[in-house]
Each structure stands twice: as structure tokens, then as C-alpha cells.
Amino acid sequence: MNKAQLVEAIADKLGGRQQAADAVDAVLDAMVRAVVAGDRVSVTGFGSFEKVDRPARYARNPQTGERVRVKKTSVPRFRAGQGFKDLVSGTKKLPKGDEVAVKKAPKGSLSGGASATVKKAAAKKATTAKKAAAKTTATKTAAKKTTAKKATATVKKTAAKTTVAKKTTAAAKKAAPAKKATAAAKKTTATAKKTAPAAKKATATKAPAKKTATRKATAKKTTARKK
């Protein structure tokens, strides 16, 4: 069946050949434009049309067998729906009379353009929210790292101050015995100074006693001579 035969087949249902031709042209044009733009055209029960990218590859010329490099390209692809497959395979029978072989789209699905727009907007919002959440998490992580570094620096400074204090205390403890020894020496010197005058007085007191003894001895000798 070509396009003209297709138009003839649906002319009676659409009220005339011209209306059928316009309808077929409008449907095909919409599908082609959507696929070229990269959108997927899906018709429930019939199938879907989509754009597929093929990478660059090597192929063989079927006539000469020569190896030829094929550039990267994009091709349209049609995938038959399950209802279409079942009718072709014979699993399901074609309906009789004017009943449509392909099931109609579910109610509300014909406003797919608006739904697609809403879905895209929702996807953009979700992506923006994820990015914002990622930035917030990164900021919090950086803040935590900075706080941890500051805390570590504070701990190190405190430890250094504690070490200096311990060293100062140890030095003070070492210096304390020396101060005590100096004080004891000063006390000994003062005691010696106080004892010196007393010793001198004692010596002075003992000296007259010796003179008196000398005088007595002289008197005794003089008396002995007179006799």
C-alpha cells in the first residue's frame, strides 16, 4: 500500500479524499519533524519512531567487496508495539467491521505536548534542586574541615603553652633548693657575726685572770727570798 492507496482507504471515514490526504500529510509531517528534532513518537498499540545515532565504522562494498569507512550518521528507527506484533503474528485476530485495529490512546494522553512540557520543567527543577543540594553539602563539608583545622591549631597551641608551663615549673623547682642553700648560708654568716663579739669579750675577760696569776706567783717568789 502506497500513500495514495492509504488516502483512498481512509477517505470514506474522513468524509472525502482531500480531507484524508490532508490528514495523512499532517500526521506524517508531525512525526518526521518530531523524530528529526530528536523526540520519540510513540503510538500505543502501533509502535514508536525515534532517532538513532550510528558511530563511524568500516563496511564493505557489496559489489566490489572493498572496505569502506562510513561516517557517523543518524537514522530513523521504528519499533512495532506489542499490539501490532500480536496482530501480525496471529496471536490476536483483526477486528471485523469498522472497529479500529489499533487501540485508541488512553483518555488524557492526547495532551502529551503539555504533559511533556510539564515533565521537562519538573526534571529541570529536580536537577536544579540536586545541584543546589550538592553545593550546600560541599559548603558544609568545607566549613567542617575549616573548623576542624582551627580546633587542631588551638589544641596544638594549648599543648605548647602547657609544655612551656611545665618546663618553667621544673626550672623553678630546681632553683628552689639553690635559694634555700643561699638563705641557709646567709643565716650561718649572720650567726657567725653575732658569735664573734661574744668570743672577743670572753677572750678579754680571760686575759686579766692570767695577769692576776702572774702577780701572785711574783709575790710568792719575793716572800721566799726575804725569808
CA distance 57 to 195: 121
Same domain, 14 and 87: yes
- Total count of domains within the chain: 2
Contact 84/44 with Cβ under 8 angstroms? no
Is residue 218 situated within a structural domain? no
Mean pLDDT, range 155-163, rounded to an integer: 67
Instruction: Give pLDDT tens digits for 31-47.
Output: 999 999 999 999 998 99
Bridge partner residues of 58 (DSSP):
69
Same domain, 89 and 181: no
pLDDT at residue 167, rounded to an integer: 72
Alpha-carbon distances of 4 from 16, 23, 138, 174, 179, rounded to whole Å: 13, 12, 63, 116, 124
Whole domain around residue 130: which residue ranges? 115-194
Contact 170/163 with Cβ under 8 angstroms? no
pTM of the model: 0.44
Is residue 203 situated within a structural domain? no
